[in-house]
Structure 1
Amino acid sequence: EAHSARGMSWDEIDEHARNYLLSLLALGFDAEEGELYRQSDNRAVQDLGFELGSKANFSEFEAIYGFDGETNISHMQSVVTQTADILYPQLVDEPKPTVIPVGPDQDPHVRLTRDLATRVRYFKVSEAFASFELDDDERRLVRAAYDALADDADDAETDVRCEDAADWLADYEPPEADRESVDLTAAKQSALDKLRAGGKEPLRPRVRFFDRNATEE
């Protein structure tokens, strides 16, 4: 980006990169525990950027970054390479939460990265309450059960169990507005089946990351 958009020479870029790295190390970054790489030398990042770029379109770049007919291709390529930088940690081990040290002004870029990750089926994030999967309607019902039971629990992290939620949900009647908008009868029965199968498994809100390209191997 510095070269394609701001016209910096490669020597200037190398000097800036060196200063950034020295600052990073001075702040306590452990180069043995972490990983430092040069974008142009990291084939995995380049390949990931190419895949992400195949799911992006010019209208998005135009809306987010103000690109127009005068924007050069290298500048656009730098954007998808930066999205690959953000997602690169997911390649190292497995899909996982990642902290991205950027300022508030970079929020649109992070949102684009999230959307591109979903489009290439790289990973998906969803709300969960236990080890089993829930669809949107089931999740609404289980959320209602959890909220009701957590209010009376001494420790909501450990005291709310799937079987307790099943007992509560069995007698629960959703509000009329909810019953009209979705088929909660079927959702209630399937949620009850899953909660009863969960038994004494703790029930609590959590975020689940899925590797959507995973295979059985």
Structure 2
Amino acid sequence: MKIDSIPKEDSFSQELLDNEIIWFTARNRREVNLEIEKLKTYGFETLRIGIDCAEFNTKKGSKWYDWLIPTLGQSFNLELCFDNFSKTDGMSICPKQALPEIVEHFIFKHGKCFSVVELWRNPSDRKKQDSVENIFSDEVVFTTTWAKYLGKKVKLGKIREADFEWITKLISSQFLKNIECLEVDKEERDLWETNTMFYERTLRSLFHAKGVSAKIFPNENSNMLNQLSKGIA
């Protein structure tokens, strides 16, 4: 079984895993249990677990996650990161359940295992121009509102420079008051790293002017998960 993003060194720390998303991509329960014991030996308390929505919408995938999340929840505090698009180029998704329904499923069935939901905006949506009148048609917006109503803290992840217009519309709508933090994606360093600091400063200024308390962090040094998890029942 391959667990993506786990460092191979023997001396990795909780701080490292705060920035890493773990993808349990194989359905081998024995190997998951072995990995759990390994992580417990290193003293980990919190894990960011990737949820592949395309995989969830398969019969075996939904059963796998319904076993995996409570199993991990017995040993760790979890943050669920919902990846609402296919990892295979050119593969279209015809979901049985849309993102709001998937997140609702995890909250209703496994809500005691996690307190933070991280949502990623589908990259294909960035090609579309959302009108100001129709911004709430974006399923990320609806899912965030619903998850917040159901008592979860919500992060927006994978935010890039191309999302600036979308974010500014959400500021004007006051929607971002539902968000704990935004995580700016720095994975594509060569494309826009030089603009990232300006992008972050501009958003912080806009947030301050509009009274939005959401924090902004680059994904390379974010430790928001531990901060959000403290004091949560």
Q: Same fold (TM over 0.5)?
A: no
Class of the TM-score when normalised by the shorter of the 2 chains = under 0.3
More helix by share: 1
Q: If the length of structure 2 is used for normalisation, what is the TM-score? A: 0.22
Q: Which has the higher contact order (CA 8 A, sep 6+)?
A: 1
More strand by share: 2
